[in-house]
């Protein structure tokens, strides 16, 4: 099947490459010339594990090409809209400008009977708005197929998804022929696109447009709620003497709750989750659902509050921040990506620098993306070089490289063996055995093995 993918960022590039790996002939369309040239060479302009291999395979087989010309999408049976829907500059709502522009640019190149399928995360009612644009082509069908990719595991999430969701006209009641049970139109086309996944047993949900539009936002809202819940509880643990790691583990044993996303820490960031929950909140407010509006506002506030709390703990450990040498482990918003959009790590690092600390940031992948945007911070690709002379170390992005860092080797490099593990991932007992003071979030000033970690650095010298 010939397929076009409109928009070749994180979502579009991964979707195009995985569709090609399933045997389809795919053309990715994007207006960014540099991005298209990069992808055309078989490499992604961003770091995503496993993606380069898929891009190179698609290039070798000839099943995957990239272009800046929308006319190259002509003749495709299915067109996936994968453009970005960033937060509006004037509100919490989603900016649909790119989605509208892409749809209008695609319109002249749609074949009769083609199916336009949205994958971008959008507010409810977006399909109805796009129908206005596509009304000039009544021979074209529309579907909505929300994405559920996570940066760092996007290739796996595409090849082995938890579920496939089809939003179709009339929802599940009109998805199948009543007499034969055969799938109709959009459902049948998407079944053909995802045949290898369906044959592998991946579950499929067929629903209305409104349900499909809300599924991604609602899923993100629930995940954000779990993260912010356990982070709020971590503050309660610090105030009461409880240990949030033990508490979360015990809570997660209840099958009604589950253990995933009950790990306290610095909180979430990135280009999707924060803006998606704000868009969800704006949708709720627009529909007069104040409970969801208020709830999402609290979730967002708790998440951002973790950053303020981390800076306060750093100040507590230092006595004062001005003039201190501080090393931050991590710049990307999460491990296994080089994406620094709304990075909690860089936010905290910037606040420390604003307080007068001399901050060095290191990261396995994101340094080249970050150094020009944060001129007050010093960046270093080598972890050990970044640690030299540090009076306080903060682990802010839980890369495996930092989880597995030798406390003895690190201890020989720093000036003071004090670490604030804002992701609660270090083996505190091993670090404390090497003379480190370990502080986490939600451990009441204790390391995760319960040893006292209270510390104050010496007062600053006049120098």
Q: Is residue 133 part of a domain?
A: yes
Distance CA 21, CA 238 (A): 49
Pick from 286, 302, 318: which residue ends a domain? 302
Q: Note whether 283 and 316 are same-domain residues.
A: no
Give mean pLDDT, residues 34-39.
96
Q: Which of these three, 264, 283, 302, is where a domain ends?
A: 302
Q: What is the pLDDT of residue 172?
A: 64
Residues 66 and 34 reside in one and the same domain:
yes
The boundaries of the domain holding residue 258 are 216-302
Same domain, yes or no: 92 and 126: yes
Does residue 311 share a domain with residue 237?
no
Residue 269 lies in a domain: yes
Residues in CB range of 453: below 8 A, 6 or more apart: 428, 432, 437, 438, 439, 443, 445, 446, 447
Provide the 3-class DSSP secondary structure of residue 400: helix
Same domain, 180 and 106: yes
Alpha-carbon span 142 to 127, nearest angstrom: 8
Tokens of 35: 């991005």
Q: How many domains does the chain have?
A: 3
pTM greater than the 0.85 cutoff: yes
Known catalytic residues? 272
**What pLDDT score was predicted for residue 222?**
95
Q: Is 459 within a domain?
A: no
Model pLDDT, residue 135: 87
Among residues 302, 332, 357, the one where a domain terminates is 302
Residue 195 has pLDDT above 80, yes or no: yes
Residue-wise pLDDT tens digits, 387-430:
999 999 999 999 999 999 999 999 999 999 999 999 999 999 99
Which of 48-57, 74-83, 171-180, 438-447 is the least confident region?
A: 171-180
What does the alpha-carbon distance between residue 279 and residue 285 come to, in Å, rounded to a whole number?
A: 10
**199 and 167 share one domain:** yes
Give a yes or no: residue 458 inside a domain.
no
Q: Is residue 61 part of a domain?
A: yes
Q: Which CATH number characterizes residue 347's domain?
A: 3.40.50.720
Summarize pLDDT for 147-161 with one digit per residue, the tens: 999 999 999 999 999
Q: pLDDT tens for residues 330-352? A: 999 999 999 999 999 999 999 99
Q: What CATH number is associated with residue 247?
A: 1.10.1040.10
> What's the chain's average pLDDT?
92
Backbone φ and ψ for 151, nearest 5 degrees, come out as -60, 135
Convert the pLDDT of each residue in 53-65 to its tens digit: 999 999 999 999 9
156 and 101 together in one domain: yes
Same-domain check for residues 199 and 223 = no
463 located within any domain = no
Pair (72, 184) in one structural domain: yes
> Going along 63-194, which residue ranges are E strands?
64-67, 78-81, 115-118, 141-144, 164-167
Averaged pLDDT, 197-224: 95
Q: Is residue 454 a part of any domain in this protein?
A: no
Q: Is residue 460 part of a domain?
A: no
Q: Are residues 199 and 229 in the same domain?
A: no
Pair (414, 371) in one structural domain: yes
Within this chain, do residues 314 and 421 fall inside the same structural domain, yes or no?
yes
């Amino acid at each position: 099947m010939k397929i076009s993918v409109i928009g070749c960022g994180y979502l579009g590039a991964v979707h195009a490459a995985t569709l090609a790996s399933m045997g389809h002939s795919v053309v990715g369309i994007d207006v960014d010339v540099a991005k298209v040239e990069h992808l055309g060479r078989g490499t992604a302009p961003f770091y995503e594990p496993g993606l380069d291999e898929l891009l190179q395979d698609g290039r070798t087989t000839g099943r995957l090409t990239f272009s800046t010309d929308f006319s190259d999408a002509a003749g495709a049976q299915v067109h996936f809209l994968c453009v970005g829907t960033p937060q509006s500059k004037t509100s919490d709502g989603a900016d649909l400008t790119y989605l509208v522009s892409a749809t209008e640019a695609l319109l002249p190149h749609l074949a009769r009977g083609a199916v336009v399928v949205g994958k971008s995360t959008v507010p409810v009612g977006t399909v109805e708005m796009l129908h206005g644009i596509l009304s000039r082509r009544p021979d074209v069908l529309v579907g909505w197929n929300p994405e559920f990719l996570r940066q760092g595991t996007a290739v796996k999430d595409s090849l082995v998804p938890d579920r496939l969701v089809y939003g179709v006209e009339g929802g599940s009641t009109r998805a199948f022929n009543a007499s034969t049970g055969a799938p109709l139109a959009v459902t049948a086309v998407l079944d053909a696109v995802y045949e290898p996944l369906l044959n592998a047993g991946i579950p499929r949900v067929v629903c209305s447009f409104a349900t499909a539009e809300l599924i991604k936002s609602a899923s993100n809202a629930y995940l954000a709620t779990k993260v912010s819940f356990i982070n709020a509880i971590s503050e309660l643990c610090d105030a009461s003497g409880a240990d949030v790691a033990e508490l979360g583990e015990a809570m997660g044993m209840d099958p009604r709750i589950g253990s995933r996303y009950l790990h306290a820490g610095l909180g979430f960031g990135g280009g999707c989750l924060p803006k998606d929950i704000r868009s969800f909140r704006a949708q709720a407010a627009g529909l007069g659902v104040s409970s969801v509006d208020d709830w999402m506002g609290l979730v967002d506030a708790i998440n951002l509050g973790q950053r303020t709390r981390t800076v306060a703990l750093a100040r507590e450990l230092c006595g004062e921040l001005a003039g201190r040498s501080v090393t931050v482990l991590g710049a990307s918003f999460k491990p296994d990506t080089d994406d620094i959009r709304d990075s909690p790590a860089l936010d905290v690092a910037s606040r420390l620098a604003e307080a007068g600390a001399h901050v060095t940031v290191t990261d396995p992948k994101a340094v080249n993306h970050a150094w020009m945007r944060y001129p007050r911070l010093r960046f270093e690709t080598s972890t050990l070089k970044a640690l030299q002379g540090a009076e306080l170390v903060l682990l802010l992005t839980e890369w495996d490289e930092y989880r597995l860092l030798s406390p003895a080797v690190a201890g020989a490099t720093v000036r003071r063996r004090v670490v604030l593990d804002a992701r609660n991932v270090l083996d505190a007992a091993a670090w404390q055995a090497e003379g480190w003071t370990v502080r986490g979030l939600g451990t009441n000033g204790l390391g995760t093995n319960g040893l006292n970690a209270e510390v104050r650095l010496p007062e600053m010298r006049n120098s």
